[in-house]
Structure 1
Amino acid sequence: MDDVLSKYKEFKHRLLFLLEMLEPFLDPMITGTKNTTCEDASNIHLEK
């Protein structure tokens, strides 16, 4: 059980490190996706 927990913690730290390194690139993509989705939804709503 301890072995599984240690592997989980190691994986979690690696994943968090990777996300932290990629954060400057991911933020504009996530923000752009949210804005596009909201605009598309509002456009569809207005067309009806």
Structure 2
Amino acid sequence: MHILTNAGPLVSLIAGILILVVPRLLNYIVAIYLIVIGLLGLFGGHLR
């Protein structure tokens, strides 16, 4: 069950990295947002 809770942030992180491949300003903004949300989702609970 723990794997299913990390699926959303992991997909967000992968999508953000893939979007970085296409060098456009909007894509960079969206990619950075997705990477940050993905990292917070994966490691946010472990930082406390």
Q: Same fold (TM over 0.5)?
A: no
TM-score, normalised via structure 1 length = 0.44
Q: Which has the higher contact order (CA 8 A, sep 6+)?
A: 2
TM-score (norm 2): 0.44
